[in-house]
């Protein structure tokens, strides 16, 4: 039988996307068939470099070119590439959440492996679209904000759930409708396939953020702690320009928390 944490470690640190995905699928199949055991004495390592560092050029987020108009094939590809990168990063976020934190209910590990499985599906669908456009993952510059947040919260289960899985991942809920709207401005026939993928991703991401919300509340039932988290990690943007209120409420945010996000806008900009 495979040991849970050591098996996840090899998958998390794998830098080849194809091997990472194939290894995870084998592991996840064994997990679902209860062919895995847990060694709670396993000591987690910190992934100091993101697993995509070997094939992506990492630059500061402010240096990344974000096309405003989708007037060229390359601009469409840049938009898709940015989402491909987020989805690939999210695979590691989910894997690390399951790998790093010990002695939690079995449902916790089930939740994050399920998220990793869905993030892989998102990545593969979008990667295929990117290839149809004539580009590959790694063709454009990327940032490592999500990885930095992952490293910063390695020692705090509460902060990992709050900042990463309830905070930064919820940014995708805000961004998704605007990306979908921008895609509709292009005349490229692939736009219908992109829109379909974005719709699936939005629906799945609501459930992912909801899992983050559940375990955030499990870690810290203090109702005022989210506001404190926003202040502590105000270097990270934790909201889009316009909140996707409906999606965030579905994912577990309260009306009070959404107001706090709005009110803290000057600090987060």
Q: Answer for the pair 40, 103: CB distance below 8 angstroms, yes or no.
A: yes
Query: Could you tell me how many residues make up the chain?
Result: 269
How far apart are alpha carbons 24 and 9 in whole angstroms? Answer: 11
pLDDT given for residue 224 in this prediction: 67
With a CB cutoff of 8 Å and minimum separation 6, the contacts of 22 are none
76: closest CA among 192, 186, 240?
A: 186
Angle between helix axes 17-32 and 4-12 (nearest 10 degrees) is 160
Q: How many CA atoms lie within 13 A of 133 on its CB side?
A: 26
DSSP state of 63: G
Which tokens go with 53? 């560092």
pLDDT given for residue 220 in this prediction: 87
How far apart are alpha carbons 57 and 165 in whole angstroms? Answer: 25
Exposed, middle or buried by CB within 10 Å (0-12, 13-18, 19+), for 37?
exposed
Q: Answer for the pair 35, 70: CB distance below 8 angstroms, yes or no.
A: no
Neighbours of 100 (CB within 10 A): 22
Neighbours of 138 (CB within 10 A): 16
pLDDT given for residue 265 in this prediction: 53
CATH, domain range 62-268: 1.20.1260
pLDDT given for residue 269 in this prediction: 41
Neighbours of 95 (CB within 10 A): 27
Q: Kind and range of the H or E element at 84? A: helix 73-100
DSSP state of 64: S
pLDDT given for residue 36 in this prediction: 97
Q: Answer for the pair 243, 178: CB distance below 8 angstroms, yes or no.
A: no
Q: Answer for the pair 142, 85: CB distance below 8 angstroms, yes or no.
A: yes
Neighbours of 98 (CB within 10 A): 23
Q: Answer for the pair 38, 67: CB distance below 8 angstroms, yes or no.
A: no
Domain locations in the chain? 1-40, 62-268
pLDDT given for residue 166 in this prediction: 95
pLDDT given for residue 244 in this prediction: 96
Split the chain (269 residues) into runs of 10 and give each run's mean pLDDT: 97 98 99 97 96 96 84 93 98 99 98 99 98 98 97 96 96 95 91 96 98 95 80 86 95 93 60
How far apart are alpha carbons 199 and 87 in whole angstroms? Answer: 14
């Amino acid at each position: 039988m495979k040991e849970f944490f050591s098996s996840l470690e090899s998958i998390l640190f794998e830098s080849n996307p194809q091997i990472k995905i194939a290894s995870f699928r084998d592991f996840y199949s064994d997990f679902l068939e209860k062919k895995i055991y847990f060694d709670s004495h396993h000591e987690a390592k910190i992934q100091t470099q993101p697993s995509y560092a070997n094939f992506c050029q990492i630059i500061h987020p402010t240096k990344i070119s974000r096309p405003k108009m989708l007037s060229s094939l390359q601009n469409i590809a840049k938009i898709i590439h940015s989402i491909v990168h987020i989805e690939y990063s999210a695979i590691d976020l989910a894997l690390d959440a399951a790998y790093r934190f010990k002695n939690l209910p079995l449902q916790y590990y089930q939740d994050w492996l399920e998220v990793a499985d869905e993030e892989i599906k998102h990545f593969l669908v979008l990667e295929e679209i990117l290839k149809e456009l004539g580009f590959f993952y790694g063709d454009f510059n990327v940032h490592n904000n999500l990885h930095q947040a992952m490293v910063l919260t390695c020692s705090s289960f509460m902060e990992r759930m709050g900042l990463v899985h309830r905070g930064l991942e919820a940014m995708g809920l805000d961004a998704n409708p605007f990306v979908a709207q921008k895609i509709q401005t292009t005349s490229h026939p692939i736009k219908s396939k992109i829109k379909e993928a974005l719709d699936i991703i939005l629906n799945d991401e609501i459930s992912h953020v909801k899992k983050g919300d559940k375990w955030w509340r499990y870690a810290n039932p203090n109702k005022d702690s989210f506001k404190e988290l926003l202040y502590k990690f105000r270097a990270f943007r934790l909201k889009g320009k316009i909140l996707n209120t409906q999606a965030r409420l579905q994912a577990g945010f309260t009306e009070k928390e959404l107001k706090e996000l709005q009110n803290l806008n000057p600090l987060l900009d």
